[in-house]
Structure 1
Amino acid sequence: MKKFIFYKITLPLIILAWSEIAIGASTEAQPPNIGNFALPTSQQPGPFLSFGQNIIDKNQIQIYFDPNYQHNTNESFLQIPAAFLYGLTDEASILVTLPVAADYRSGPDHSSGIADISVQGEFAFYENSNSQYTEQMTFVTALTVPTGSFSKNPPTGFGSVSSFLGGTYNHMSVDWLWFTSPGVLWITKHSNIKLGSQYLYQFGVGRNIKSVPNQYIFSALVEIDGTYIEKDKISGKSDPNSGGNLIFLTPSLWYSTKTFYFQLGFSIPIEQEWNGNQSKINYYTNVTAGWTFN
């Protein structure tokens, strides 16, 4: 059976619906343009591995590349996603991600090709700010289509449509930021195989290191990224060698200017409770480079 591959979960999503509703409390008062606020919203530091928090200004565009590498016992996965983010309004965005499985290896087997394309939608249903901090809550939903292959070894996709639903909360002050983001991923049945649902629980804290207003922001972030995975089912029977719980500790560094941002980090598993006989993850590393167009 397919081992669990940690696809970076900025899980590309699609907005189901949103309406013109009141957004939070007063948004007139704003923190000073220093520290984490030294640049516009699209260039301010945010989650590295955790999903969501991709709200940018209306009609803004971000294009970024997100190469990542995961090393398991006797397995490795190199993926190079390209992503397109568009601000539908100041409170809603859509993100399309095209992941390329550049080099997947499991023992003597090797595979590559297009992985599952996904579309993400995010809507900020609550925003609040004052002279000390800003806070935001968002609703995130996603749809992933099976453009990858489940029959390859290792697989480059789920083999069926998957959907995601989650939410985020972000609190940012001049020097600090913190966030939390729970979510769930459902994977539809493929032939007689039903892959287990995945439940995400994520938390992060960041600290501004150095910034110059209207020039750059340099900051650090530490995340706890947890995923609980249900067992797969084959012909209605649970696969004993599937499912479990994984928790990553993920430190990263962020650097951004008015039009460019760069984030580099790595993840170390601090807990791996896999059912049965499954390959363990040794580490996961990732780099993100993106450009913003107004």
Structure 2
Amino acid sequence: MKPRPGCIATAALLCAAAGAANAAPLTFNTALPISKDEWILREQFVYMKSTDDPSPMNRRMEVSGLMSVLGYGVTRDFAVFAVLPYADKRLSMNVGGADATRSQSGFGDAMFMGRYTAFEANATGHTFRIAPFLGVKAPTGDDHASDRLGRLPPMLQPGSGSWDWQGGAVASFQSLDWGWDVQLAHQRNGEANSFRAGAVSRLDLSVQRRLWPGTLGEGVPSFLYGGLEANLIHVAKDRVNGADDPNSGGTTLFLTPTVQYVTRKWVVEAGIQIPVSQHLNGSALRNDYILTTGFRLNLGIRIIWLLYEIERWATSKTHNGLTG
């Protein structure tokens, strides 16, 4: 299964949900909180390659994307997120005995999501949380792009043209030495241009372990974590002109080794998704790997504090003006 760039953008948004002081999954959500009035910025570069083509067309698909994600803690338990992806997509194939390449780049569909901590249990040295989430993807990207050969197929369009919905729940455990996360999620896609992408259902699991320092002491400013993630993803068949596409959809199991360098204010991270099992329909293009690298940044902006400082500065200026 070749994950759609929209699904990759969703993963980027979901993974921004952790504050920058924690290790977290690279490929899906976490229930770890964002503090009230705190902003989290995530920039993530994703490179996806798919060249395993069971058809005689020898299709090769490459996607390079940059996902910009912003998260905000509305309350102690409720956080909201927004993501804007930019992607360069390239598809090469054999047509009539000659190679042909079609490509397109641009901003994709924006996504907005809310997550609420419904349950938490805290004890000395560890925390456990469960958080449901709900999101919507708006058709903000161009879905009518074309080249010299005509209109591009849906997989190459920057946007989908449809309103899509996603919901699910995630449970997270975090201690001083290690943590785990598990998620159930489902995405339902709308129809646009006589095309409806298949619905996506997924089960995800992540385990992170602190590799350095081996023993915690006073004054340690940063940590190195290693992790392993598993993503079981089922995609229903696409529908074209009201009929199922027999060469779309299927089930894929990814394993993803990850590494994260964590400080109080920022995290740098990298991982590679490897498809260890792909049971796809018809001649659907198989995925080779997905490489992800990027950073999370805790902006540390407290809105109330900022407004207070501005008001205090303005008051001091007014006072100085009156007494000067």
The bucket for the TM-score relative to the shorter chain is 0.7 to 0.9
- Check the 8 A contact 2:30/2:172 in 1, yes or no: no
CA deviation string 1:14-36 (max 9, x = no partner): xxxxxxxxxxxxxxxxxxxxxxx
Q: Give identity over the alignment, percent.
A: 22
Could you tell which deviates more after superposition, 214-223 or 147-156?
Answer: 147-156
Change (3 A) 1:269 1:125: same
- Verify: 1:174 aligned to 2:160, yes or no: no
Shift of 1:260: 1.2
| Gap runs ≥5 in structure 2 | 52-59, 93-100, 146-151, 301-324
Shift of 1:132: 4.6
Give the aligned length: 266
Change (3 A) 1:241 1:150: farther
| Gap runs ≥5 in structure 1 | 14-39
1:253 alignment partner in structure 2:
259
Q: What root-mean-square deviation, in Å, do the aligned CA atoms of Structure 1 and Structure 2 show?
A: 2.0
Shift of 1:233: 1.4
- Verify: 1:268 aligned to 2:246, yes or no: no
1:281 alignment partner in structure 2:
287
1:49 alignment partner in structure 2:
27
- Verify: 1:87 aligned to 2:73, yes or no: yes
- Verify: 1:100 aligned to 2:86, yes or no: yes
Shift of 1:176: 1.9
Shift of 1:175: 1.6
Shift of 1:52: 4.0
2:128 alignment partner in structure 1:
135
| TM-score, normalised with respect to structure 2 | 0.77
- Verify: 1:293 aligned to 2:283, yes or no: no
1:60 alignment partner in structure 2:
38
- More helix by proportion, 1 or 2? 2
How many Å separate the matches in 2 of 1:266 and 1:3? 15
Could you tell which deviates more after superposition, 145-154 or 117-126?
Answer: 145-154
Shift of 1:62: 1.3
- Check the 8 A contact 2:73/2:80 in 1, yes or no: yes
Give 1:50's aligned amino acid: F
Give 1:143's aligned amino acid: V
1:69 alignment partner in structure 2:
47
- Check the 8 A contact 1:54/1:93 in 2, yes or no: no
Describe the SS at the equivalent of 2:79.
strand
- Verify: 1:161 aligned to 2:163, yes or no: yes
Change (3 A) 1:95 1:193: same
Give 1:82's aligned amino acid: S
1:226 alignment partner in structure 2:
232
- Check the 8 A contact 1:214/1:258 in 2, yes or no: no
Shift of 1:3: 6.1
How many Å separate the matches in 2 of 1:271 and 1:122? 31
Change (3 A) 1:126 1:46: same
How many Å separate the matches in 2 of 1:151 and 1:255? 41
CA deviation string 1:106-140 (max 9, x = no partner): 01011000111111211111110112521000011
Q: Computing the radius of gyration over CA atoms, which structure comes out larger, 1 or 2?
A: 2
